[in-house]
Amino acid sequence: MTSRQFLIRDLLVLFGLTGWAVALPGFASEFVVSMALTCLMYVALSSSWALFCGTTRYLSLATSAFFGIGAYTSAIGLESLSWPVAIALGATIAAGIAVLMGAAVLHLRGTYFAVLTFGMTELIRHAISYFEKSVTGTVGRVLMVVPERDTVYFTVLLLAVLAVALSIGIRRTRFGLAMQGIGADEQRAQTLGVNTRLVKTAGFALTAAIAGAVGAAMSVRWTYIDPHTVFNPFIGFQTVLIALIGGAMTLWGPLIAAIVFSVLAETLRLQVPQVYMMSLGLLLILSVLYLPGGLASVRAETFKGWWRDSKAWWRETRDDLSGETERRKQREKQQREARHVY
């Protein structure tokens, strides 16, 4: 298939999934709509995270910071601003914070970058907690103006579609190729004329803007928010896990994994939270060991390879238990000794 054919295919898939999601609130129960809203939230967060971090291979743990900034912006501004303006303001402030954060930490890579983004997330959370205790005399905010359920649902749906559409489009632009070049070899990309600092900052700000907009939209899901809720590190960690397990380098991997994780979250987390956390860890281990390309890389050949490997493992185990492996080694040793004598 040509690049144009892949583009048409991706757009048709996105259009079909969007149509199904638009029709969902009309016939589904409140529980299903709530689960779909969570799913759409993580589709937007993980797709935008993979757009920057998957291509550049910069492991950011700051998603919860941008999500919380957007949530607090919406909670404060909804009393005087319209719903679209509050969402846009949350995205803008999150992007601005990302530019400042990127200027400080984007020259680092690997573990150092991940640890520093997580540390700055905690710094923002504690700074907001200290500000509220010192200035307002309380921690948290009660949301007095809350839009209807369908307004929140379709807003998050729009943000999820926007995140996937941006992934489809940007991956085919010079900007997307520049981010891929940074991920492959940053020094070589720099020698070829890529302004790596500008590209990294713009990509980081883009993923932060989407996370901030999602946080602004999702804040009204709770009637009361506080820093512990909206700056919860688990939001950032789960976003990273979804992207990695789905396939951070792929387009549809984060979307597939977001659906799987949403179903697991709603069915296991409330009833048996320990099993849910064990499932996350198990999925991550299996993905790293047997599916490094993520769920999106699963093909028919993948299952055939697993089947061949399992049969080979079973033959080796059977030979070890029956002593055939040891007998074979003895025969090979005797043959070598016989050749040496003659």
Other beta carbons within 10 Å of 248: 24
Residue 306 reports pLDDT greater than 70: no
pLDDT tens-digit readout, 253-294: 888 888 888 787 777 766 776 777 777 777 777 777 776 666
Q: Domains of the chain: which residue ranges? A: 3-298, 303-340
Residue 302 reports pLDDT greater than 70: no
3-298, which class in CATH? Answer: mainly alpha
**Reported confidence tier of residue 178, pLDDT bands at 50, 70, 90:** very high
Q: Give the mean model confidence (pLDDT) for residues 165-176.
A: 90
Question: pLDDT value at position 144?
Answer: 78
Which amino acid is it at 22?
V
Question: pLDDT value at position 340?
Answer: 62
Do residues 243 and 254 make contact, with C-beta atoms less than 8 angstroms apart? Answer: yes
Helices (H), the chain: 3-27, 30-49, 55-56, 63-77, 83-105, 110-131, 149-170, 174-184, 186-191, 196-218, 227-230, 233-246, 253-264, 273-290, 300-322, 324-341
